[in-house]
A = this chain, B = another copy of it.
Amino acid sequence: MPRLFIPGKNAEEYRSILEGAGLPNLSLDPAPTAETEIVFGSPTLIRDALAELPNLRWAQASWAGVEPLLGPSLRRDYLLTNARGVFGGLMSEFVLGYLLAHERKILERAEAQKDKIWDASLTGQLRGKTIGLLGVGSIGAEVARTAKFLGMTVHGYTRGSETSKQVDRYFHGNDLLEFANGLDYLVNILPNTKETLKIVDEKVLNALPAHAVFVNVGRGSAVDESALLRVLEENKLAGAVLDVFEQEPLPKEHPFWETPNLKMTFHTSAPSLPGDIAGVFIENYRLYIEGKPLKYVVDFERG
């Protein structure tokens, strides 16, 4: 009978969802033991428990990003799965919401209302626009699927994979500036790895058309923040929506708080909703006890 440990403040909520799901043969440990073989929780809490889980076989992370578990001094002798599957839908809704807010001038209309101005100025639409996805994993594929449904053209930049059929055109390697050129929206969904460090630099930002909007739902480290600040201040870019930053929470003195046409969302683009996350664990647990390959396995090397 597999023994599971759930660390942290959401343990009770997860426990009651799992008990309601009637998972076969599962036994819950209130604390880590030498016999515990599964752990389910946030990457930081899993990391903190690793030393007390000598016989850990599988860790299900409740986030998409698993950086805390990738430190070079940490063991890698277990199977690590993340929750990227549930974030595709949430990320799609987030990206779509902010793209539509831009097209339909939702914030500008609210300002007009405050000033009691009947502002019937023309708005735009997403149909016919081109979105570029920096990174097309499971989350990117879901954003692509939604964008296609709404009649957008989808471009994708990846290391080499071309798995999503919803992407109209793929770019790789040295094609990054060609990829940026001609986009209406650039959306970064890349995880934090060595190769993605400041990938959105001055060159990429300058390659975007001046009417384009940049959305970052990946990691803050993927962006050269000084370069982004400059293009926004110089009106070389119509806007930016930043969910993530190099430093979080963003320090009060950071210029981004007051940068024109920059909207920030405080790392909330894909909230971990307990029901959704528990659903990933349940799905993977059923595969686990049947000895089948799990979903959303993390490659420790690639991150």
Determine if A288 is an interface residue (Cβ-Cβ < 8 Å). no
Measured in the bound complex, the distance between the Cα atoms of B269 and A75 in whole Å is 55
- Beta-carbon nearest neighbor of A99 in chain B: B97
Contact yes or no, B150 A93, CB < 8 A: yes
Determine if A252 is an interface residue (Cβ-Cβ < 8 Å). yes
A111 smallest CB distance to B (angstroms): 10
Contact yes or no, B118 A266, CB < 8 A: yes
Residue-by-residue, is A227-262 near B (CB-CB < 8 Å gives 1, otherwise 0)? Answer: 000000000000000000000111010000100000
Contact yes or no, B120 A268, CB < 8 A: yes
A143 smallest CB distance to B (angstroms): 13
Determine if A287 is an interface residue (Cβ-Cβ < 8 Å). no
Q: Which one of B112, B263, B267 contacts A113 once the chains associate, using CB atoms below 8 Å?
A: B263
A202 smallest CB distance to B (angstroms): 24
Contact yes or no, B110 A107, CB < 8 A: yes
Answer whether A101 and B109 are a contact pair too, CB < 8 Å, given A149-B149, A257-B116. no
Contact yes or no, A250 B118, CB < 8 A: yes
Determine if A73 is an interface residue (Cβ-Cβ < 8 Å). no
Which of A94, A96, A121, A123 gathers the greatest number of chain B CB atoms within 10 Å? A123
Determine if A89 is an interface residue (Cβ-Cβ < 8 Å). yes
Contact yes or no, B122 A271, CB < 8 A: yes
For A151, the chain B residues whose CB sits under 8 A away are: 89
Contact residues of A with B, CB < 8 Å?
89-90, 93-94, 96-98, 100-101, 103-104, 106-107, 109-110, 112-113, 116, 118-123, 125-127, 146, 149-151, 248-250, 252, 257, 263-268, 271, 273
